[in-house]
Amino acid sequence: MLTFMASDSEEEVCDERTSLMSAESPPPRCCQEARQGLEDGENAAQWMPWPPGTRASGPQPAGWSFRLESTTQTAHVHFHDTRARRRRAHRGRSLWPSPCGFPQRSQDSEEDFEDDADHYVCGGVPGQPSGLEEELTLKYGAKHVIMLFVPVTLCMIVVVATIKSVRFYTEKNGQLPYGAGREQSLQPAISLSIYTPFTEDTPSVGQRLLNSVLNTLIMISVIVAMTIFLVVLYKYRCYKFIHGWLIMSSLMLLFLFTYIYLGEVLKTYNVAMDYPTLFLTVWNFGAVGMVCIHWKGPLVLQQAYLIMISALMALVFIKYLPEWSAWVILGAISVYDLVAVLCPKGPLRMLVETAQERNEPIFPALIYSSAMVWTVGMAKLDPSSQGALQLPYDPEMEDSYDSFGEPSYPEVFEPPLPGYPGDELEEEEERGVKLGLGDFIFYSVLVGKAAATGSGDWNTTLACFVAILIGLCLTLLLLAVFKKALPALPISITFGLIFYFSTDNLVRPFMDTLASHQLYI
Amino acid sequence: MTAAVFFGCAFIAFGPALALYIFTIATEPLRVIFLIIGAFFWLVSLLFSSLFWFVARTITANKDGPIQKYLLILGVLVSVLIQELFRFVYYKLLKKASEGLKSINPDETTPSMRLLAYVSGLGFGIMSGVFAFVNTLSDSLGPGTVGIHGDSPQFFLNSAFMTLVIILLHVFWGIIFFDGCEKKKWSALLIVLLTHLLVSALGKSQI
């Protein structure tokens, strides 16, 4: 039935996404070959250029390696020097033991909200003075923060704009005036109500609170179960299954939810559109989205699609989760994220360790990646050529999980020049930050709920927005300090929750009174 | 008609701040981060002032009448004090941060204290202006307008200009405040505090 499929896809789609990771530009092609073990010698020579005698084995990233792990996915923010990347011949998503001794793993999100592959990126270049590395990483640290701020802000803007203008997403089920809409709205409602069966239409506050807590427990246990299922799948190498699941869920998102969304927007603005045009539009949108996300496409387009599907998912959550349950779920998921990432027996950590043992990318993921400047060269053949190139897709070199890894982001390559210290000022920095879509989704759910449930109050929405950005900043800062994996959700969600409740109850009456008297503080 | 009021007032209130942001801050990621942290500090100060006002109101058991007016005035004064306090706290934080940045990369150009003063002032100002005006602005888009019960029909325009003034004043206060802190000229801080109180007190005639 469509409902169950929809629900599955909702669940699966959400799963992938909470991770914050940094990605380097994908390695040059020769690195891919090297990864296949074909030309290790040459490549090693090309990308392990540091002079003999420098410590090549010390696992001391001169750069900062941040790993944020959120509930479902570990997030890994990694800032490092281009030269380090050049030295590492790696694919963006491959697990390639880098010369500095770190396995690189991509953190990919899973289908469920649970784990993702952790992306450990080797940071820094051994042999370089550490101050130099830190300098470079600090300089680009701020840029990475902004590279995360922009997509998170855009996603929130889309969600808030939709909430404020399209009534559909704030109406509770059964209140829709349109018959067709009723069917559409009820189906996902039925599917989600399986996860939140306790109603919130109870007379007493205590009962309502209890029901929300019970709903949350059910939801979180579903998440935990799916995480463990995913870890098991990964352990037993069922990559095809995961890949298919991922394709199914993004299909659902890109076609079904877009269709519903477009329908509601058209209804709100009373714009008539005939079915052929509608189907043409949705088909084009969805098909290009599938290509961009799972295969190749321009980076900006892929980023835009990922933001859009995160927004769509967040809107679904905002509509179908009951009021209080949504808040409790947000809190619980931050706690789960903390536990799953930091505890030694946490599923996410186990997933990461398994991937580390196997030296491979964990999962195909829906991860937002924002690679920055890039220079591309023909790796082995012509190290000096630079220009914009998309690496041609090389089917024979991929195995199953490579193909997962491929689509998430366009190939960006670094010139595989042997690095030397004098070069750094001339080279373009190629740093990218990857953020799992789950983080996008939960941040947007928080801000969207603030926009939906405040009594038309914009102050609450803005306060939550600033709080989430500050939480993101703090998380990145903590990563720089601790240099180990940290969950991405807890700080932002905690700040967001604190500011939501305090702004709604304390600040709003104060500001309203001031504004009505035209008093400015 | 309402769209015209909305856009007009929005650009009156936020136009200069937006221009300042686009031309001076948006290009440098570090400045954007400091701006957002400044906005956050102002938000926290507002939180504490609202808490104070709320507690004061519950203590006086929400009686109507002149007591509410006095409570509001008291709330405004306390809010100004807390804002300046948080500006000082932000100054201390920036001082530590810039020292840290300098020690890490001595030859990189870290932002000077003057620039940080400007950025922090703008952060405070933008947040203050937005919180003060955005609800009024969204109401101006709605059906109807102001003035049916004898209120001034220039309500929106007045508020827009006042918001603009407050944003710019926060920028100036930020610069003067940080300069006073840097040179240990405590008279500058006092002047900032007094002028802030004066500006807020000007609105009292409206109550």
Tell me what pLDDT residue A386 has: 38
If DSSP codes are grouped into helix, strand and coil, which group holds residue A67?
strand
| Torsion angle of C-alpha atoms A182, A183, A189, A192, degrees rounded to 10 | -170
* ∠ Cα A489 A335 A454 (to 5°): 65
Q: Which residue type, as a one-letter code, is found at position A393?
A: Y
Strands (E), A414-472: 431-436
Tell me what pLDDT residue A38 has: 40
Query: Which residues in B lie closer than 8 A to residue A506 (C-beta atoms)?
Result: 47, 50-51, 54
Closest-approach residue (CA) in chain B for A496 = B40
A237: left (phi over 0), alpha (psi -120 to 50) or beta: left
Query: Which residues in B lie closer than 8 A to residue A505 (C-beta atoms)?
Result: 54
Closest-approach residue (CA) in chain B for A463 = B43
Tell me what pLDDT residue A428 has: 46
> 3-state SS of chain B?
CHHHHHHHHHHHHHHHHHHHHHHHHCCCHHHHHHHHHHHHHHHHHHHHHHHHHHHHHHHCCCCCCHHHHHHHHHHHHHHHHHHHHHHHHHHHHHHHHHHHHHHHCCCCCCCCHHHHHHHHHHHHHHHHHHHHHHHHHHHHCCCCCCCCCCCCCCHHHHHHHHHHHHHHHHHHHHHHHHHHHHCCCHHHHHHHHHHHHHHHHHHHHHC
Per annotation, catalytic residue among A112, A439, A457, A504? A439
Does B56 contact A at CB distance below 8 Å? Answer: no
b/e map A11-29, b = 16+ CB within 10 Å: bbbbbbbbbbbbbbbbbbb
Tokens of A413: 């390559």
Tell me what pLDDT residue B104 has: 67
Contact A143/B39, CB-based, under 8 Å? no
User: Which of B21, B43, B72, B130 best tests the A interface by mutation, with the highest count of A CBs <10 A?
Assistant: B43
Q: How far apart are the first and last CA of chain B?
A: 29
Structure confidence at residue B163 as a pLDDT band (50, 70, 90): very high
Contact A467/B36, CB-based, under 8 Å? no
- Give B161 or A294, the one with higher predicted confidence: B161
Closest-approach residue (CA) in chain A for B138 = A458
Counting other chains too, the contacts that B84-90 makes at CB distance below 8 Å and 24 or more residues apart are B84/B177, B84/B189, B84/B192, B84/B193, B84/B196, B85/B45, B86/B41, B86/B42, B86/B44, B86/B45, B87/B41, B87/B120, B87/B124, B87/B173, B87/B174, B87/B177, B88/B177, B88/B181, B88/B189, B89/B41, B90/B37, B90/B38, B90/B41, B90/B120
């500001």: which residue's tokens?
A511
Tokens of A321: 């989760």
Query: Which residues in B lie closer than 8 A to residue A519 (C-beta atoms)?
Result: 72, 76, 200, 203-204, 206-207
Question: How would you write the pLDDT of chain A (521 residues) with one tens digit per residue?
Answer: 322 223 334 444 444 444 444 444 444 444 344 344 343 334 333 433 334 443 333 333 333 333 333 334 433 443 333 343 444 433 333 333 333 333 333 333 333 333 333 333 333 344 445 555 555 555 557 788 888 899 999 999 999 999 998 888 887 764 444 444 445 555 556 666 777 778 777 888 888 899 899 989 999 999 889 888 888 888 888 888 888 888 898 898 889 999 999 999 999 999 999 999 999 999 999 999 998 888 888 888 988 999 999 999 999 999 888 888 999 999 999 999 888 888 888 887 787 778 778 877 555 455 777 775 544 443 333 334 333 333 333 333 333 333 333 333 333 333 434 444 443 333 444 556 667 788 899 999 999 999 988 666 899 999 999 999 999 999 888 877 777 667 889 999 999 999 999 999 999 999 988 888 878 88
Task: Give the predicted TM-score (pTM) of the model.
Answer: 0.74
Distance from CA of A59 to the nearest CA of B (A): 21
Contact A518/B51, CB-based, under 8 Å? no
Distance from CA of B179 to the nearest CA of A (A): 22
The beta-carbon neighbor of A521 closest among B36, B79, B138 is: B79
Distance from CA of B201 to the nearest CA of A (A): 8
Q: How far apart are CA A426 and CA A419, in angstroms?
A: 11
The single-letter DSSP state of residue A427 is S
Strands A74-78 and A65-69: antiparallel
Strands A382-387 and A376-378: antiparallel
* ∠ Cα B92 B95 B96 (to 5°): 90
The single-letter DSSP state of residue A97 is B
| Torsion angle of C-alpha atoms A281, A284, A289, A294, degrees rounded to 10 | 150
- Give A116 or B57, the one with higher predicted confidence: B57
Q: How far apart are CA A206 and CA B195, in angstroms?
A: 49
Q: How far apart are CA A416 and CA A89, in angstroms?
A: 8
- For the residues of A353-400, what is the DSSP string, one character each? HHHHHHTS------EEEEE----EEETTTEEEEEE--PPPP-GGG--H
The single-letter DSSP state of residue A435 is E
Residue range B70-90, pLDDT digits in tens: 888 899 999 999 999 999 999
Q: How far apart are CA B165 and CA B128, in angstroms?
A: 11
ipTM given for this complex? 0.93
Query: Which residues in A lie closer than 8 A to residue B127 (C-beta atoms)?
Result: 466
Query: Which residues in A lie closer than 8 A to residue B29 (C-beta atoms)?
Result: 142-143, 145-146
Does B168 contact A at CB distance below 8 Å? Answer: no
Residues near B177 by beta carbon (within 8 Å), at least 6 away in sequence: B84, B87, B88, B91, B117, B121, B188, B189, B192
Q: State how far Cα A208 lies from the chain centre.
A: 32
Contact A519/B206, CB-based, under 8 Å? yes
Backbone angles phi, psi at A183, to 5 degrees: -65, -45
């003063």: which residue's tokens?
B117
Interface of B with A in 110-139 (CB under 8 A): 127-128, 130-136, 138
Residues near A167 by beta carbon (within 8 Å), at least 6 away in sequence: A268
Q: How far apart are CA A128 and CA A27, in angstroms?
A: 21
Q: How far apart are CA A350 and CA A138, in angstroms?
A: 31
Q: pLDDT over 90 for what percent of chain B?
A: 63
Query: Which residues in B lie closer than 8 A to residue A499 (C-beta atoms)?
Result: 43, 47
């001339």: which residue's tokens?
A426
Distance from CA of B51 to the nearest CA of A (A): 6
Query: Which residues in A lie closer than 8 A to residue B170 (C-beta atoms)?
Result: none
Distance from CA of B47 to the nearest CA of A (A): 6
User: Which of B71, B74, B107, B134 best tests the A interface by mutation, with the highest count of A CBs <10 A?
Assistant: B134
Tell me what pLDDT residue A133 has: 56
Instruction: Examine the residue annotation and report whether A337 is marked as an active-site residue of this protein.
Output: yes
Backbone angles phi, psi at A365, to 5 degrees: -140, 160
Q: How far apart are CA A386 and CA A377, in angstroms?
A: 5
Instruction: Examine the residue annotation and report whether A116 is marked as an active-site residue of this protein.
Output: no
The single-letter DSSP state of residue A429 is P
Closest-approach residue (CA) in chain A for B139 = A456
Chain A contact residues (CB < 8 Å to B): 131, 134-135, 138-139, 142-143, 145-146, 149, 456-459, 462-463, 466-467, 469-470, 473, 499, 502-503, 505-507, 509-515, 517-521
Distance from CA of A430 to the nearest CA of B (A): 16
Query: Which residues in A lie closer than 8 A to residue B43 (C-beta atoms)?
Result: 463, 466-467, 499
Contact B32/A149, CB-based, under 8 Å? yes
If DSSP codes are grouped into helix, strand and coil, which group holds residue A346?
coil
Contact A466/B50, CB-based, under 8 Å? no
């559909």: which residue's tokens?
A168
Q: How far apart are CA A236 and CA B74, in angstroms?
A: 67
Q: How far apart are CA A462 and CA B134, in angstroms?
A: 10
Q: How far apart are CA A319 and CA A187, in angstroms?
A: 12
Contact A510/B49, CB-based, under 8 Å? yes
Query: Which residues in B lie closer than 8 A to residue A431 (C-beta atoms)?
Result: none
Tokens of B83: 């804002």
Residues near A246 by beta carbon (within 8 Å), at least 6 away in sequence: A12, A16, A111, A294, A363, A364, A365, A366, A404
Q: Which residue type, as a one-letter code, is found at position A409?
A: Y
Whether A13 and A255 have beta carbons less than 8 Å apart is answered as: no
Residue B19 has pLDDT above 80, yes or no: yes
Tell me what pLDDT residue A344 has: 85
Strands A485-486 and A65-69: parallel
Contact B135/A511, CB-based, under 8 Å? yes
